[in-house]
Amino acid sequence: VAGLMHGLVLKALGQNVLVLESRQPSELKAQAAGLSLGPHAYELMKTLVGGNDVYGLHNPASQILDKGSNVVVELPISTAVMTSSWSVVFDRLKSKFEMDEELKGSGIYETGKRVIGTDDTGTSVSVHYREGDSGSEKTVTAKLVVAADGCRSSIRQQFVPEVQTKYAGYLAWRGCVAETETPEALKGAFEGKLVMHMPGGSYILA
Ligand SMILES: Cc1cc2nc3c(=O)[nH]c(=O)nc-3n(C[C@H](O)[C@H](O)[C@H](O)COP(=O)(O)OP(=O)(O)OC[C@H]3O[C@@H](n4cnc5c(N)ncnc54)[C@H](O)[C@@H]3O)c2cc1C
């Protein structure tokens, strides 16, 4: 979503923006249960996407539980954090980016286009990409290129090859339960709270 966020800001500033996404629409699915919007992301959603609380829940407090699920401490969160989901944020950003004609620039979002390299010509940047279906290689020219291709960014590798990803020693499992299937006893229990359970050697964030 960082690419779409940059695209939307640039479009609002009057630029004509093209987003090249390597995945196909069927592969663009939520890969995580929840997505927390920090102050800057929240401000961007509020200013450029509109609405207020419809795309997420405010979390004014954080609760830490011990091994026996007892509340050890409940702390107010100093910065505004809003809990939403990847698909809600992605869908809203994408429709605003593609559809909003009131913004000054234009926004085109193309899927199945894998960027394979860039060349700085001095006055512009050539972006080379591969088409998903045909595998044919194409080039598009831009004044500015933003690489938002994730933590294993191949574009970053082109510029700073010495920066390598390193296994941090832990594994994250993510999951979600449909609201309709949530047991009665749990309903509302997490509302307004980021709950952290620390059973030792691992931690659960709900
Ligand atoms: C477990 C976990 C939980 C997290 N929770 C949060 C959270 O709650 N809130 C938060 O703000 N951050 C969170 N983060 C961090 C957040 O996911 C990253 O900072 C953010 O996804 C980076 O944005 P991005 O758009 O660059 O990368 P991504 O979200 O990884 O998106 C990269 C996109 O680029 C595409 N792509 C990759 N290579 C190419 C290519 N060569 N050409 C074209 N397209 C390409 C991919 O298909 C993908 O769609 C979390 C991270 C993890 C691992």
Which of 18, 21, 27, 145 best tests ligand 1's pocket when mutated (most atoms within 8 Å of CB)? 21
- Which tens digit of pLDDT belongs to each residue from 48-71? 988 655 678 888 888 888 888 888
Ligand 1 and 80: CB distance under 6 A: no
How many Å lie between the centroid of ligand 1 and the Cα of residue 151? 7
Residue of minimum CA distance from atom 4 in ligand 1: 35
Q: Which pTM value belongs to this model?
A: 0.88
Cβ atoms of residues 102 and 8 within 8 Å: no
Q: Which atom of ligand 1 is nearest to the CA of 28?
A: 49
Identify the pLDDT of residue 81: 82
What six digits make up the tokens of 59?
Answer: 């979390």
Identify the pLDDT of residue 12: 94
Residue of minimum CA distance from atom 53 in ligand 1: 172
Ligand 1 and 45: CB distance under 6 A: no
Q: Tell me whether residue 187 is exposed, middle or buried, using C-beta atoms within 10 angstroms of its C-beta: 0 to 12, 13 to 18, 19 or more.
A: exposed
Closest by CA to 14, choosing from 75, 82, 124, 100, is: 100
What six digits make up the tokens of 33?
Answer: 């249960």
Identify the pLDDT of residue 51: 63
Identify the pLDDT of residue 91: 92
Q: Is 136 helix (H, G, I), strand (E, B) or coil?
A: coil
Task: Report, as ranges of residue numbers, the positions in the chain whose pLDDT lies below 70.
Answer: 31-33, 51-54
Residues 6+ apart with CB under 8 A from 161: none
Identify the pLDDT of residue 171: 86
Identify the pLDDT of residue 185: 82
- Which tens digit of pLDDT belongs to each residue from 41-50? 988 998 898 8
